[in-house]
Amino acid sequence: MTENTPRIAVVTGANRGLGRATARALAQRGFAVVLTYRGDADEASRVVEEIRAAGGDAIAARLDLADVASFADFTVSLRRDIDERWGRPGIDVLVNNAGIGLFGRLEDATVDEFDALIGTNVRGTFFLIQALAPHIGAGGGIINVSTSLTRHVSPGTSLYAASKKAVEAITRALAVELGPRGIRINSIAPGPTATDFNGGAMRDDPELRSSLAAHTALGRVGRPDEIADAIAALASSELRWLTAERVEVSGGTLL
């Protein structure tokens, strides 16, 4: 990497919500960003334009985390695209933000919901790491987005929380495998945050926000930029000795 070549970050599911905020936060800190999206190319293009207008650089690439068979072709096109734009085919940071949330009580859960959650949040995350880790250089990092629901409980969240707990276990185990290559891997666990996740329920429902705020030490729900700043901090060289950790960013939820 030459002096003028930027560090490159891939952020999955970055066309909206927490992923968008994360892409912007990393770009503000000098990263060139590849933001992936599943369905809305126009939305992704707007995020790219926002980043470039603010003086950063970004490109967008389509990726369906549930379609593991597409990861080989995605990796080839990703390396080609970043080499053409930034002069090298490797990346420095992978943020596994993309995922789905399906919620419901025990009696309402279905096999299809179970398979969708595990297939996207666990299977997709694991095999994307498998595909991209060979192209992350020494000193690079992987950040997997989990949830504070792996620590505290709430009715109707069992399957979602289980999928994210699996991601945390993968994170710790892979830290041992990737550490000899100088790659750090951590998970970040957001608490209640006003994003468009789960249909924007927390963002758009004042009563829900107020109820959850009453159970946080800081007395409110989080903002996407606050989670994004924590992710950017994990990606920075200042935390280069941190790996295999679960970092909760929840404002002190249900302590």
Active site residues: 160
Q: Which two tokens stand for residue 245?
A: 């950790």
Interaxial angle between packed helices 197-204 and 206-213, expressed in degrees from 0 to 180 and rounded to the nearest 10: 80
Both structure tokens of 231: 């992710």
Q: DSSP state, 15?
A: T
d(C-alpha 242, C-alpha 184), whole Å: 7
| Three-state secondary structure call for residue 214 | coil
Q: Is 241 exposed, middle or buried (0-12, 13-18, 19+ CB in 10 A)?
A: exposed
Cα–Cα distance measured from residue 187 to residue 234, given in angstroms and rounded to the nearest whole number: 9
Indicate the SS3 state at residue 55.
coil
Residue 209 Ramachandran class (φ > 0 left, ψ -120 to 50 alpha, else beta):
alpha
Across-strand partners of 61?
36
Sheet containing 136-145: give its strands across.
57-62, 32-37, 8-11, 91-96, 136-145, 184-190, 246-249
